[in-house]
Chains A and B, each alone.
Chain A
């Protein structure tokens, strides 16, 4: 049995869903950030897998994978800065306490 594109795509899909579940179902803002990191990783896996199986000699997928990694780094930096700022005001990282924008 050889490993095909479908294997990679299904693996990436599962990883994405686990990350999404983390982002939707956790209380702690930092674990939500971690869930988002997992989702981004799943995306990069998809990009690289498509590149490998559909156009191995044109590395666009790799290049965009790099961009996504750079974005993820920026995202986590800004996200953590936000969490720290809110934490200074609320002394909490519970996302359910962050409800200033309600009615």
Chain B
């Protein structure tokens, strides 16, 4: 069974693909059957991925198998699978989250007119992400990468009758294209220079070219893909807007698919980045900046899903930063634990929104703790895990990241990371205290969600508690013994553990004072620092800046191009047509209609031909005309 799963890992993305095809072609009119079929297929994938995980744990050596897709001189593209601890972990996380989200969707999407097609999209999404994760070369990865982008477009715009959903879907797609463009350029460079796109082959070739200038360019181009997909500054703008989709979709996008694709790409191609320290530094600082930037926005937002969205941005910045400082283990570990508790938080938020008939403003909630006990408990577990409180999942992974930053000499990033930890704890518990323990609103009638929705919450809650234990540094064989780059190393710093916990507790306590006890007035602070508050509330005006750029620069360039098209391109074509017509107008006067003119031209032509042939060319002398000598 385990051997079968490792050898036939291509079946994992195939199962949801089959589900997608079957639902689209046969089950469109039977919603319950589509949901059942989709969940069955992803369950099979999950079981297979469990087998893969077991296989990887028994033998961490990479297993690669591939078939040639097409081949021509100088370019061979293959489709294949590469199973090693990193992809094994990812397959497990993706299929688990996809499975739980689909089960949860059965309750959440109930009575939606697009029920069947929703599950078809979910299956396609899971297929794309699983295919991306097990890819053994850049081309296959790029194909699935684009499929992931397409699925996000379809699902964000799932309620396409809402204008905001349409706009958000377009924004997500277009923003991702910007990053994908650089990624594709990087892939082409790799193919041209190294002649192969296979990860294993490249991993052997590239280290010999370390610190070559062009390699830095390639690494940065490849990094633009994760900037777009993982929502790093400055291409983060699509992710908060992506909240327009159904909430389980947000959970899927934020926890397991889509955004972690970028982080996974950096980890998968870490041999490339490790060879160019300059690129790694850029990655580290982009990640650190994004973490801080998004966390500061999150503390002023009022929409429950937007708070979580900026939290995701911030955590993704953490993961990217961890990769940049060389902590592949820490980054992947945080990716896994984050998948657990972020999926939990989103599904919990979905449960709240479901109970309140679509209300998303946290100030319109309140008093939910009594009415929705399971949701509240699991949500608090998720928040504690995200804040990094001992011994929940986030604690272990966040400490590893901070440790990696500090031990590799990035003290500035270590301080930023600690500050972000404080902000994270603060905004999460601001959300918890306002939404769950605030004053109950009279016109709300919340009720606990059905079991089909709470069960995934409970499972994810358990995982958020115990999921971090696999990375406990005191274990002789832990997460880092399998997932590493270069050499596995175990280390821990009690000082960091203690300080980060204290920092997080301080954040929680501040939120407690401000929003539960109300001994510190939040609005007073907001008024005191009105400029900063407005800046944060409006997300640093990034969207407005982009809008200005589009209005003035892109549209201006468009107007220039329009002018060129109208006057230069069309001018050439119209000029040709006009020239033809005018020369025709002149030349037609040669057609006099006078037969004798034509006859004279004919005779003149005969004379000229005779002269040319007979007199000017001595080899065709007139003596040759006689018919022989």
- Chain A residues with a Cβ under 8 A of chain B: 20, 23-25, 95-96, 98-103
Contact = CB atoms under 8 A, between A and B. Distances in A.
B111 interface: no
B603 A99 contact: no
Contact of A102 (B593, B599, B600): B593
Interface of B: 588-589, 591-596, 599-600, 603
Residue in B588, B592, B593, B603 whose Cβ sees the most chain A Cβ within 10 Å? B593
A95 B600 CA distance: 14
Contacts of A23: 596, 599
Given A20-B603, A24-B603, A102 B592 contact: yes
A6 to B, nearest CB: 12
B600 A24 contact: yes
A50 B603 CA distance: 24
Given A95-B596, A102-B594, 6 more contacts: A25-B596, A95-B595, A98-B593, A98-B595, A99-B592, A101-B591
A4 B20 CA distance: 100
A24 B597 CA distance: 8
Nearest to A54: B627
Nearest to A100: B593
B254 to A, nearest CB: 75
B599 A24 contact: yes
A48 B316 CA distance: 106
A102 B591 contact: yes
A102 B593 CA distance: 4
Contacts of A20: 603
Nearest to A17: B603
Contacts of B594: 95-96, 99, 102
Contact of B593 (A24, A25, A101): A101
Nearest to A99: B593
Nearest to A27: B596
Given A20-B603, A24-B603, A103 B591 contact: yes
Contact of B596 (A24, A100, A101): A24
Contact of A103 (B589, B595, B599, B600): B589
Contacts of A99: 592-594
Contacts of A100: 593
Nearest to A29: B595
A98 B594 CA distance: 7
A93 to B, nearest CB: 13
Contacts of B600: 24
Contacts of B595: 95, 98
A24 B588 CA distance: 22
B386 to A, nearest CB: 86
